Amino acid sequence: MSQHDPAQLVSWLYLDMNSFFASVEQELDPALRGKPVAVVPIRAETTCCIAVSYEGKAFGVKTGTLVGEARQLCPGIKFIVGDHANYVRYHNRIVEAVESCVPVEAVCSIDEMACRLTGSQRHLEKAAALAGKIKAVIKTKVGSSLRCSIGLAPNRYLAKIAGDMKKPDGFTVIRPCDLPGILHQLKLRDLPGIGARMEERLNQKDIRTMEKLLSLTPEEMRKAWGSVSGEELWHLLRGEDIAVKLSEQKSISHSHVLPPELRNKAGALRILKKLTDKAAARLRQEGFYASGIYIYVRFQGQDTWKASCSLMETQDTVVFINAVRTLWEEAPAGQVFAVGMAMTGLVPEAYHAPSLFENQDRSRLIKTLDQLNEKFGKDVLHYGATHESDGLVPLRIAFTRIPDKSEL
């Protein structure tokens, strides 16, 4: 078969740094290289490891292992209190190194990024050479202790799966012609987006293997997930690139003209927080994460003021509200007439790569709040930060969209 055959082409390269935090510590301190290392948040026997070098993993120490247990499993392991400033600096250097080879389409987390391949880069031989070049540039320009696994595939979701298939320092290709058979070797939990609770839900429907999952129709997948995410996953697992959804919806936004009594900075911030709360609920309901937020203020007799910032991909209302508060501190003085905000850099849930910084307990709490509000009525439960704004932002029907029933 020719390498130009569509069944042989790949469209995405996904890079996953291996044991990133621990590798950075080994790069910073040559005495740690080749030795078991665990990164911890504080020095205490009761805390847990947030990253472990592969030398430590060989003894059974994993992310989440308690320090006391890690010491029993691997008596010689070194515990390092993590300095996140160093990890961010190395992250930026890695992004710069990858950018010198191919544009980075999306920074998915501090240690993962996705690159869209175009033109001749999609030919397998050239894509593989590009992967090799990226690995070499990271080692020579950033640090010899830093290794990564790279996956090539027809869409970003499968490229991430490919990158996870061989670690450390792995390289895996999934071609369209390999599907779906190459996925039969995986477990359900190997799929991004399937955690313990989702696996249990699938098991209850007698879906226990990848082969069984892949035998379902799009309608059956949608029913199993209870949302359109299941149907989207059906298409992703067959190599379709559904990133069109990303370009069709670039942001989730809300705006509001203030009543006269709230046309001041304190009143405007109250409205902005409520708009942010509403947008976050929509974001989750529509199955997205956001990696940026933007606010604007229209003043009477003055130019419109705008501000924005980038975020780690999130659905967390509290993160968004804190970002709005921070941006708001820079707002100029004046009589506010209207405010607006938008969540940008939208990423479908299937593409989201969980970060070490995510609070999983809070993620579950947020989804529970959404479910209760859907069942018992909008705003039966709400965040303390938006309590003062209750009832201040009535429903508006925009020209660009019809409000979802959850907003009614």
pLDDT of residue 42: 84
For 88, the token pair is 């961010």
pLDDT of residue 2: 47
Model pLDDT for residues 272-316, shown as the tens digit of each residue: 999 999 999 888 888 888 989 999 999 888 888 999 998 888 888
| Percent of the chain with pLDDT strictly greater than 70 | 84
Average pLDDT over residues 100-109: 89
pLDDT of residue 286: 83
347 strand-pairing partners: 289
Residue closest to 52 by CA, chosen among 312, 32, 359: 32
- 1-178 placed in CATH 3.30.70.270: yes
Distance between CA atoms of 403 and 372, rounded to whole angstroms?
A: 19
What is the distance between the terminal CA atoms of the chain, rounded to a whole angstrom?
A: 55
Distance between CA atoms of 165 and 110, rounded to whole angstroms?
A: 20
Kind and range of the H or E run holding 252: strand 251-257
Is it the case that residue 245 has pLDDT exceeding 50? no
Fold match, 182-242 / 249-407 = no
Given the residues 25, 55, 112, 232, the one annotated as active site: 112
Structural domain boundaries in the chain: 1-178, 182-242, 249-407
Residue closest to 291 by CA, chosen among 361, 235, 347, 359: 347
Model pLDDT for residues 131-187, shown as the tens digit of each residue: 999 999 999 999 999 999 999 999 999 999 999 999 999 999 999 999 999 999 999
112 is catalytic: yes
pLDDT of residue 62: 93
Distance between CA atoms of 8 and 162, rounded to whole angstroms?
A: 15
Pairing between β-strand 305-314 and β-strand 288-299 as defined by DSSP bridges: antiparallel
- 182-242 placed in CATH 1.10.150.20: yes
Distance between CA atoms of 273 and 266, rounded to whole angstroms?
A: 11
Is the CB of residue 381 less than 8 Å from the CB of residue 281? no
Model pLDDT for residues 343-354, shown as the tens digit of each residue: 998 888 777 766
Architecture of the CATH domain 249-407:
2-Layer Sandwich (3.30)
